[in-house]
């Protein structure tokens, strides 16, 4: 297990100024940025997709509160995937469509950025399956403040109002012990469900493991077969301090419960005591997603604007494997997804767990690639982006594999494996990508530009060694075109956060 990093354990890097730290009780884990890898030595890059969004709303909470976030709280892929993107949905019966593109890297003009974008099949309230939900709510004393249990109740009220009569909801609470506050109740009895929510009171210590056991038991007892939605929705600050308190043991418990085919959604609430690392780990092993609810507006995004994606899973254990052509690419690095990396053998191994895609979800992954011939490019820190190869000549006539690559115009091939929500055997999709090498300004679409803007912002906030020449002004310039696709106003808010973070970094 990686050691937990507390807010007070790491000073802000030089150039960022002093940050007002909210509390030393918040815990984050970050394994460090992915580095560049030579294609000659590592032609395959494999990772699990991630549709979590908690890092973005948590980072927003710090910035609006007047301080930069701790570096370890910044997960770049969650910043990027917080936003919906205007990608075309699938039309061939598969759960999602893939959209590949490449452009110049705005923070390093000698490099390219490859975008791998997935768009999940869309469902409406009328077309999604019936839902069997269990609200698992932390009602311990640590949840008493206004931005915890009161916000939990307000958030779940929004979800209840969106339910159909044939949906069902049960409420399990836990503090020092667990209890069934509401047995599984049809959505046609909304008043009963809302009354049970309103009656919840925070008190006592936190025995989350007991609550997890009971919630899954209730979900299994009311299981909706044949593609129905069966989901536990956990709302907590993640501070499990009674019973099973070790994160690894809690993760193993949820991993075992996930075999029941009941999915898990985890939502963090509160500040000053947020156990981000624990909540993220639980969602990752529970066939689930992790969000952080800091405001009523965020609750509206999750439980109103994107409610079908929050409830309905269209594909599980989704893995991506990229094979790079060594005749076109000298080196690459995946931006973000550090704690989602997989071994190359894991791609074809259906026993290895991976991320899930909800209805209508968009997933974006960015690779920074070093084209062949650009290996000697010097970065902003004065060091070469990639050292010159010692044993390979410029002609690259070192074997049949590389000669075959030289004959191809393809930059890379993306392979995607996924399972149906109730399936155990994966299917595979495959997509090649060619690169004409045109300059960024000539072709970059606004969605691609916006994703790169968010990535650059994340690298600045985390003081990534790979941020190159990125600046907050560059982020704003890249992102402004993306405002044309902003029905919820989330991108306009992003620009405000960039300006505010630039002020805090001075």
Domain ranges of the chain: 34-123+314-446, 131-311
The stretches in the chain having pLDDT less than 50 are 1-23, 242, 377-383, 391-403, 440-442
For 46-96, write each residue's pLDDT tens digit: 999 989 999 999 999 999 999 999 999 999 999 999 999 999 999 988 999
| CA separation for the pair 394, 260 (Å, rounded) | 54
Segment (H or E) for 281: helix 276-285
Three-class SS state of 125: coil
Q: 500, 63 in Cβ contact below 8 A?
A: yes
Pick the closest to residue 159 from 290, 45, 265 (CA basis): 265
**pLDDT value for 408:** 76
**pLDDT value for 34:** 95
CA dihedral 192, 295, 144, 262 (to 10 degrees): 60
Which residues have C-beta within 8 Å of that of residue 214, sequence separation ≥ 6? 172, 174, 178, 179, 180
Handedness of CA 167, 285, 363, 349 (dihedral sign): negative
CA dihedral 173, 178, 180, 181 (to 10 degrees): -40
| CA separation for the pair 32, 336 (Å, rounded) | 9
Segment (H or E) for 93: none
Q: 299, 293 in Cβ contact below 8 A?
A: yes
Which residues have C-beta within 8 Å of that of residue 422, sequence separation ≥ 6? 227, 261
In 77-214, the DSSP E strands lie at: 96-105, 108-120, 131-138, 168-174, 178-186
Domain 34-123+314-446 homologous superfamily, CATH: Gamma-adaptin ear (GAE) domain (2.60.40.1230)
The top-level CATH class assigned to 131-311 is alpha beta
Helices (H), 65-207: 76-80, 149-161, 190-198
**pLDDT value for 274:** 80
């Amino acid at each position: 297990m990686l050691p937990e990093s507390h807010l007070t354990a790491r000073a802000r890097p030089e150039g960022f100024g002093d940050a007002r730290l909210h509390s030393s009780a918040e815990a984050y884990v970050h394994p460090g940025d992915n580095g560049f890898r030579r294609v000659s030595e590592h032609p395959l890059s494999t990772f699990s997709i991630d549709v979590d969004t908690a890092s973005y709303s948590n980072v927003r909470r710090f910035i609006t509160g007047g301080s930069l976030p701790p570096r370890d709280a910044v997960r770049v892929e969650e910043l990027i995937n917080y936003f919906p993107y205007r990608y075309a949905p699938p039309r061939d019966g598969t759960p999602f469509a893939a959209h590949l593109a490449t452009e110049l890297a705005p923070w390093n003009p000698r490099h390219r950025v490859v975008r791998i974008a997935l768009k999940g099949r869309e469902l409406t309230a009328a077309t999604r399956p019936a839902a069997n939900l269990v609200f698992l709510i932390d009602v311990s004393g640590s949840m008493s403040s206004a931005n915890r249990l009161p916000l939990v109740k307000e958030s779940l009220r929004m979800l209840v109002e969106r339910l159909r009569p044939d949906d069902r909801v049960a409420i399990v609470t836990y503090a020092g012990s667990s209890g069934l506050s509401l047995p599984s109740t049809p959505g046609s009895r909304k008043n009963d469900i809302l009354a049970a929510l309103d009656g919840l009171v925070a008190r006592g210590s936190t025995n989350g493991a007991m609550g997890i056991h009971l919630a899954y038991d209730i979900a299994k007892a009311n299981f909706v077969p044949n593609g129905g939605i069966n989901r536990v929705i956990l709302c907590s600050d993640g501070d499990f301090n009674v019973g099973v308190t070790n994160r690894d043991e809690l993760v193993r418990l949820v991993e075992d419960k996930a075999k029941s085919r009941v999915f898990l959604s985890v939502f963090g609430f509160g500040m000053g005591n947020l156990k981000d690392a624990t909540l993220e780990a639980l969602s990752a092993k529970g066939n689930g997603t992790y969000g952080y609810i800091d405001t009523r507006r965020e609750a509206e995004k999750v439980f109103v604007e994107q409610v079908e994606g929050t409830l309905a899973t269209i594909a599980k254990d989704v893995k991506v494997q990229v094979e790079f052509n060594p005749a076109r690419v000298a080196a690459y690095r995946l931006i973000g997804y550090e704690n989602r990396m997989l071994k190359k053998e894991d791609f074809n191994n259906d026993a290895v767990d991976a991320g899930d895609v909800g209805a209508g979800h968009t997933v974006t992954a960015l690779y920074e690639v070093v084209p062949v011939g650009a290996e000697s490019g010097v970065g902003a820190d004065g060091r070469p982006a990639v050292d010159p190869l010692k044993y390979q000549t410029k002609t690259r006539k070192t074997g049949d594999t590389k000669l075959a690559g030289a004959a191809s115009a393809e930059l890379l091939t993306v392979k995607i494996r996924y399972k149906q929500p109730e399936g155990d055997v994966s299917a595979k999709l495959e997509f090649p990508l060619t690169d004409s090498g045109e300059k960024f300004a000539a072709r970059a679409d606004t969605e691609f530009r916006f994703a790169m803007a968010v990535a650059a912002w994340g690298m600045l906030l985390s003081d990534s060694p790979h941020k190159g020449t990125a600046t907050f002004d560059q982020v704003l310039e890249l992102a402004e075109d993306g405002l044309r696709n902003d029905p919820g106003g989330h991108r306009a808010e992003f620009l405000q956060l960039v300006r505010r973070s630039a002020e805090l970094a001075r």
